[in-house]
Amino acid sequence: MKKGILQKLKEGPVLGDGGYLLELEKRGWVRAGPFTPEVALTNPEALRQLHIEFREAGAEVLQALTFYASRDKLATVGLQDRLEDLNRAAVRVAKDVAGERCLVAGNLSLTWMYDPDSNAAKGRVRATFDEQLEVQVAEGADFIIGETFSWLGEALLAVERAKKTALPVMVTICFENQNSTTEGKSAAEAAKALVDAGADIVGMNCLRPPEHMLAHLEEMRKAVPDAFLAAQPVAYRTPAEKPDFTSLPQFPFELDPLQLSRKEMARYAQQARDIGVDYIGACCGSVAAHIREMARVLGKLPDEQRPWTLNYEKPMSAYEYYDHDPVQASSPNVIRMSARPFASFYLVSWTHLDKSCINQWIREKKIILESQEGVLTGRVDHLGGVPHPRSPHRAWPGPVPFSQTSPN
């Protein structure tokens, strides 16, 4: 039997999944603009494949693609009568992929109908949430996520309705270009209000990248020290004056140059963990490669296990030819060289050269070395004109500076 989300959070950080709608739009299955999730009906296999990618990357939660799957939103693309079918299909696809490996979260999102001064609008939002929740709970969602609420008031309605399901509830707000909710509440104030309303997990998601979200999460952590905290930023780079990626002129068709690297998202995961975030996921723009690197730094995936004979003396790849970092290739038996390309030809692996061989090689090649606290530093002299081992028609430029940590 799978552990529930609250039990898993008590044991340590939980890794969420990435973004669905924008990635599926790039693949041709979602229409940019409305970004409605009818792919769950029209091409469930495409949705299934993305779930699989996130699962294999290390995600511990898969969200059912029911974001924007409310009746009024679906009406904008003529699918208002397919609400039950769509919500049911989305949860089933997620559950089928999750199996016993992942939890499945039902999903509620902003409705674009909330009006703080209208009781009728609030009633309509409640009914909208209830309609989706009925289907998602019946299909076996493990917990509920309500997300992307710039209005704190709408987020509180999501808590209210989701709590009636008796499932754990996670609700996250978002900041647009101002550092507050639409009604002017700070991150700390919003977190307190959500916890007081009964949310089990609170936090922030979407619109902003880690750079413009983490400071607000720190405020939340201080405001609700005993609550579970969640973060799901976008994987797009945005300027400080317009941190909401949807406000940029590049949205939605020219976002590719703004996408964060997998290493940048890995750093985010480390930073989030360090400030006390419990649920660490990602949103729009984040793909399986991002989640995989996040999983690795959080200890959710082992180091690369597939075999590879890495030989810098006789390269069989551009990685070896240009002396890229062997540590990044998870190859601890190859010496890490900080030299210019080609210098590592002479020191390939401590496992293949004993100390006497190294000393003899040093004398023969006239390398000036000095040992200081286990680190060899120096320069390779008098190598000009020596044929290059990988391309005989080329010669060493020499001298070549380098440094290398000694195995001793």
* pLDDT tens-digit series, residues 243-259: 999 999 999 999 999 99
Q: Is the pLDDT of residue 263 over 50?
A: yes
pLDDT tens readout for residues 296-314: 999 999 877 778 887 878 8
Look at residue 329 in the predicted model and tell me its pLDDT: 56
pLDDT digits (tens, 9 = 90+) for 321-353: 888 776 565 444 443 333 333 333 333 333 333
Residue 376 has pLDDT above 70, yes or no: no
pLDDT at 210: 98
Residue-wise pLDDT tens digits, 43-78: 999 999 999 999 999 999 999 999 999 999 999 999
Q: Please report the pLDDT score of residue 391 as a whole number.
A: 45
Mean pLDDT of the chain: 85
271: its two tokens = 């930073």
Residue 239 has pLDDT above 80, yes or no: yes
Which residues are paired to 402 by β-bridges?
378
Q: Given a cut of 60, is residue 381 above it in pLDDT?
A: no
Q: Provide the percentage of residues in the chain whose pLDDT is more than 90.
A: 74
Lowest mean pLDDT among 17-26, 55-64, 217-226, 356-365: 356-365
Residue 399: pLDDT band by 50, 70, 90 thresholds? very low
Contact 140, 95 (CB under 8 A): yes
pTM for the model: 0.82
Tokens found for residue 323 = 């002396």
Confidence check: pLDDT of 26 > 60: yes
Return the closest-CA partner of residue 142 out of 52, 314, 8, 246.
Answer: 8
pLDDT at 277: 98
C-alpha to C-alpha distance for 189 and 198, rounded to whole angstroms: 15
pLDDT bracket for residue 401 (50, 70, 90) = very low
Set out the domains of the chain in order of their start, with CATH numbers. 5-297 (3.20.20.330), 318-405 (no CATH)
What is the three-state SS of the chain?
A: CCCCHHHHHHHCCEECCCCCHHHHHHCCCCCCCCCCCCHHHHCHHHHHHHHHHHHHHCCCEEECCCCCCCHHHHHCCCCHHHHHHHHHHHHHHHHHHHCCCCEEEEEEECCCCCCCCCHHHHHHHHHHHHHHHHHHHHCCCCEEEEEEECCHHHHHHHHHHHHCCCCCEEEEECCCCCCCCCCCCCHHHHHHHHHHHCCCEEEEECCCCHHHCHHHHHHHHHHCCCCEEEEECCCECCCCCCCCHHHCCCCCCCCHHHECCHHHHHHHHHHHHHCCCCEECCCCCCCHHHHHHHHHHCCCCCCCCCCCCCCCCCCCCHHHHCCCCCCCCCCCCCCCCCCCCCHHHCCCCCCCCCHHHHHHHHHHHCEEEEEECCEEEEEECCCCCCECCCCCCCECCCCEEEEEECCC
* Res. 315: pLDDT tops 50: yes
pLDDT of residue 397: 42
Q: How far apart are CA 230 and CA 218, in angstroms?
A: 11
Task: Count CA within 13 A, CB hemisphere, residue 55.
Answer: 21
Start-to-end CA distance of the chain, whole Å, equals 49
Higher pLDDT: 360 or 376? It is 360
